[in-house]
Copies of this chain bind each other. A is one copy, B any other.
Amino acid sequence: MSNVEVDRSIEAILMVVDEPVSELTLATVLEVPVDIVVEALNRLTHSYEDRGFTLKAINGGWRFYSHPDCSPAVEKFVLDGQQNRLTQAALETLAVIAYRQPVSRARVSAIRGVNVEAVMKTLVNRGLVEEYGVENETGAILYKTTSYFLERLGLKSLDDLSPLAPHLPDLDGLDEILESLTD
């Protein structure tokens, strides 16, 4: 199968799907190595730079998206697109969970210095955070972010979260102190 054929086939498939498609699924259907699919997806994404749409992999699957530049025009069509904005408290709590997951509510409280009960409830109800088993020693419920969280942030996977380290000053012993706080 030539490059052009792979490109066109991927475009055609992504045009009819109702949910994101993984690189592996595309490779299986087209009977080509995954590398070839990845190359093709990159080539296609580049070729759409001046178009009104783009390709994105979010939560492990690829699909077409409207280009961010064109959001004013698209917003007129999408009626239920207005998502409620998260409060500052919700965002901070979400940040702690995202980087420390799986994590108990008490731990999040300790890091933020306030009771996070109500905020956690909101995040769970919004589908951004979910329960994830219990901590062995304490029996406290652990929480982690959901795939919907990735979707809302436009992330391919949790690995795409920017590292936390640059936000912390490079102080001797800080890591140890922070570590000791987790007990």
List the interface of chain A (C-beta within 8 A of B). 4, 7-13, 15-19, 25, 28-30, 50-53, 64-67, 69-71, 73-74, 76-78, 80, 82, 87, 89, 106, 112-115, 117-119, 121-122, 125-127, 148, 181
Contacts and interface: CB of A to CB of B under 8 A. Distances in A.
Given A11-B51, A12-B52, A77-B29, A18 B69 contact: no
State how many copies of this chain the complex holds: 2
Report whether over half of chain A's contact residues are helix, strand or loop; otherwise say mixed: helix
A8 B76 contact: no
Given A16-B77, A112-B127, A8 B52 contact: yes
Contacts of A50: 4, 8
